[in-house]
Chains A and B, each alone.
Chain A
Amino acid sequence: MKPASTTAREQPLVLVVEDYQDAREMYAAYLQFSGFEVAEAGNGIEAIDKTHELMPDIVLMDLALPRMDGWEATKRLKSDPRTRHIPIVALTGHALAGHAEGAREAGCDAFVTKPCLPDALVTEIKRLLDLHRPNAENAKDGARTPKASKKRS
């Protein structure tokens, strides 16, 4: 039972899940500026509720969240047949080894490391949405985000 709004929508809907308000609103503002519709959630439970309610085209999921963390929320969404198809981009502040693995195991389709500049984030979202168009469904697993944002002295 897909909501009719998905197809009726002119612009793709991005659900931004982030507990840190400044960052959430910054990404939301820039995504709207870049031509996306944006919904926001401040924790994992809210993220699941909003996903079921709005059926966004893509979810931008911070992993460190209060009440229910991003991994758990991702795991629930990916184990639910109604939401399983929605791509999820994990957003993590910890570059420590293992986070990427954890995110992939939880079912994330891609992940970016904070700090992530808004335009880099937009580029990644656009890439994933292209991959998830109905005719490109099988290319899903090849999605990778190069960690190009690091600078060395």
Chain B
Amino acid sequence: MVRSAAATAVHFTGVDMEAKLALLEFLLTNSDLQASARRAIDWLAAHAGVQQAVVAVAEPGAGPLLLVAEHGVSSAAIVDFALTRDDEGHPLVRAMLRSDPTYFDGSPMPFRVPIENLAFHAVPLRAEEDLSAHGLLLTSASGAEVHPDVTWIARMLGRQAARLQSRQTLAETRFGQERMLLYSIINAVTDPILLTDTEGKLIIANSHAEKLFAAPEEASEGWRRAAALNNMLFSAALSTSAVGMSEMSRRELLLVDPLEGSDLLFELLSSRAKDERQGTYVVSILRNVTDLARAKEEIEESYRTLRVAQAEVRDERHRLDLIIDSVADPILVTDQEGDIVLMNTPAERLFNAPGIDDEGTLRRVRANGANLTSFVSNVLTRSGEQRYRGEIQLGDPMTGRPLPVEAVAGTILSEQGELMWVVTILHDLTEAIEKARLYEQLKQASVELERKVQEATAELADQNELLRRQHIALEQASALKSQFLANMSHEFRTPLNAILGYTHMLLNNVTGPVSDPQRKSLTRIDSNSRHLLALINDILDITRIEAGRMPLNATSFGIGELFDEVQAELEPIIKRSNLAVTTKMRAGVPTVRSDRQKVKQIMLNLLSNALKFTPAGSVTMTASYDSKQKEIAIAVKDTGVGIPVEDQVKVFEDFRQLDSSPARGYGGTGLGLSICRRLAHILGGSIELESTAGKGSTFTLRLPAKARKR
């Protein structure tokens, strides 16, 4: 730091004075030239901004110049300095002879100067009254002009030298120079070095130690406090180490960096030195091991991290092994040579047979290995693909059972993209193949079933078609039958008509009188012909009903008038029967809308049946109306022979008369009731029978009051 001299003078006027007085006081009380010189130079460094300074003193007369104090100068330069006053041509010797300072501008010179490569002033040390200088003060300079303090110091030192020279021997001066050299050496050491008393009180410290333990006057509060703390720590360290260690003690000492406030770790080497005059000293060398400790810590930390990482890797590996082993499928890892580097337990069973000497097993294990190797080499040749899938034929090493497996391989590449390993997982295909086989069988069976169903369906369709045709054929046959019966009954009637006609003519004496036996025979012919005619008519009726050729012809009529008509038509029979025939009309019987002719036919039939099968008693016809069902009921009740329960269904069947002998005396075709029932159905009604054998029967025709078209 170079400051302007004028600025310093102005600024530090008051302080300057005080400092100068303090320095003068020191010089006056001090009898050691070297100490004086050092103090003076330090003062210059502090107050005049001198960066480098050297004080050289000379014996009176001729002789070498000795360096007694320096500031900011390398120790090498001090050691190399050699100058005698006899060398009169030397610029520094000449400068010493002058009364004014000599300026050297820093350009290279043919001799060595302690202040190297810098401009400097060489100021002779002389008091005003002195004829010759006692030495030289060399101070680095920033310009030709000399700082006033420098000349002032040179004068003060000159006076001091003159004052002390009479008392101080050269030897002392020489000793001083050696001491100075020692100082500079100590200062040159980068480790702090201290000389203390046994209490730790500082006697000598090099500049590095001073930084730690001595705070300069202008130091900050923090610096001073840190220095005080360091002193305390140091004293404490010394006192504890002094107990056990007689010669040399080595221990760690933690101090504070006064400038940065950070912790500094030192290794403290202290040894005692005994001096006859002064007593016991302690020499301490502090070696900064802060960085070392930090490095050690870091190494330990990395080591610990490494250990943890290793443990983790071990755990990971262990877990991986567990996982791989727990997979039921064999897993193998092979290197690029095709050699197995890792496999799980299931894989081991296939490719390694530990503890088994059986020749067959070993052979099969080798065969499996060969198969795997050829698969892996396939994978290796297909380096472009990440996944490779294939099938391998292996064998169970123990049993030799064929073991088809599906192999899925993946390649693991290094960061550089080189193929490192091939991971292969084998999957047992036995089950899959078996399943596929079963599935195939199932499919076959399903196809078979479907075929059978189709066949059956086709057959069913054929049968349906057949049935349909048969149905049509049957309908046609039925129609033909009806037509045939209709034709037949017509053809029957033509000759029958003639028979009846001629019989009638004979009986009416058209061809002349007939005898009684002839008449009897003719009567038999007549009655049998009529019976035959009735049969033919009934068959014709049934045929017409079944052929659907008897349509409903609905008109409105009263049941009462129908009763009258039926009675009138059967009048001859009623008369002949000697039975009491009555009719009853219950209240509320309405006019009926139905097929009058068919209703009448039914009533004629029921009444003639009742008359026919009732030897004595009565026949009653009753009409009633069920207003809820809107149904007319016509009941024909007789007191005749009756019908046993077991026969009550049969009487409605075709050609059924309970007594089927022709000589039964009741006549009729046996078709009447079956026709009545058919007619009742056409009308939307029914015929019911209630009867007790021997007590009579009641036939009831039920009809809707209004017949619906069917």
Known: A94-B490, A114-B493. A153 touches B534 (CB 8 A): yes
Closest to B670 in A: A153
Known: A96-B544, A97-B549, A148-B569. A23 touches B498 (CB 8 A): yes
Expressed in whole angstroms, the minimum distance between the Cβ of B182 and any Cβ of chain A is 167
Is A26 among interface residues, defined by CB-CB distance under 8 A? yes
Contact of A115 among B501, B549, B550 (CB under 8 A): B501
Is A29 among interface residues, defined by CB-CB distance under 8 A? yes
B525-564 contacts to A (CB < 8 Å):
530, 533-534, 537-538, 540, 544, 549-551
Give the interface segment out of B260-268, B422-430, B449-457, B502-510: B502-510
Contacts of B500 in A (CB 8 A): 115, 117
Is B392 among interface residues, defined by CB-CB distance under 8 A? no
Contact of A26 among B498, B534, B569, B667 (CB under 8 A): B498
Known: A27-B501, A30-B505, A30-B510. A93 touches B494 (CB 8 A): yes
Classify chain A: how many residues form its interface, as a range.
20 to 34
A150 to B534, CA, bound (A): 7
Chain B interface SS verdict (over half): helix
Interface contact B540-A95, CB-CB below 8 Å: yes
A29 to B505, CA, bound (A): 9
Contacts of A42 in B (CB 8 A): none
Contacts of A119 in B (CB 8 A): 504, 508
User: Max chain A CB contacts within 10 Å: which of B496, B504, B538?
Assistant: B504
Interface digits, B473-511 against A, CB 8 Å rule (1 contact, 0 not)?
A: 000000000000010001001111110111011001010
Interface size on B, residues (CB 8 A): 37
A118 to B503, CA, bound (A): 10
Known: A96-B549, A114-B493. A153 touches B510 (CB 8 A): no
Is A143 among interface residues, defined by CB-CB distance under 8 A? no
Interface contact B537-A96, CB-CB below 8 Å: no
Contacts of B672 in A (CB 8 A): 152-153
Expressed in whole angstroms, the minimum distance between the Cβ of B200 and any Cβ of chain A is 158
Interface contact B498-A151, CB-CB below 8 Å: no
B597-618 contacts to A (CB < 8 Å):
601, 604-605, 608-609
Is B102 among interface residues, defined by CB-CB distance under 8 A? no
A26 to B504, CA, bound (A): 10
Expressed in whole angstroms, the minimum distance between the Cβ of A129 and any Cβ of chain B is 20
Interface contact A20-B537, CB-CB below 8 Å: no
Interface contact A153-B538, CB-CB below 8 Å: yes
Interface contact B504-A118, CB-CB below 8 Å: yes
Contacts of B667 in A (CB 8 A): 153
Chain A interface SS verdict (over half): loop
Interface contact B497-A115, CB-CB below 8 Å: yes
Contacts of B601 in A (CB 8 A): 152
Closest to A62 in B: B494
User: Max chain A CB contacts within 10 Å: which of B508, B605, B672?
Assistant: B508
Contacts of B502 in A (CB 8 A): 22, 26
Expressed in whole angstroms, the minimum distance between the Cβ of A116 and any Cβ of chain B is 7
Contacts of B106 in A (CB 8 A): none
Contact of B501 among A96, A117, A152 (CB under 8 A): A117
Contacts of A151 in B (CB 8 A): 530, 533-534, 537
A99-153 contacts to B (CB < 8 Å):
114-119, 148, 150-153
Contact of A153 among B493, B495, B496, B669 (CB under 8 A): B669
Interface contact A33-B669, CB-CB below 8 Å: no
Closest to A92 in B: B490
A14 to B534, CA, bound (A): 30
Known: A95-B537, A152-B608, A153-B669. A115 touches B496 (CB 8 A): yes
Q: List 13 A-B contacts (CB under 8 A).
A: A23-B494, A23-B501, A27-B501, A30-B505, A30-B508, A33-B508, A33-B510, A97-B549, A115-B493, A118-B504, A151-B530, A151-B537, A152-B668
A residues with CB within 8 A of B: 20, 22-23, 26-27, 29-30, 33, 93-97, 114-119, 148, 150-153
Nearest 7 A/B pairs, CB to CB = A153-B668, A115-B497, A26-B501, A22-B498, A33-B510, A153-B669, A153-B672
Q: A23-B494, A152-B601 are in contact. List 19 more A-B contacts (CB 8 A).
A: A23-B498, A23-B501, A29-B510, A30-B508, A95-B537, A96-B486, A97-B544, A97-B549, A97-B551, A114-B493, A115-B501, A151-B533, A151-B534, A152-B534, A152-B605, A152-B668, A153-B608, A153-B670, A153-B672
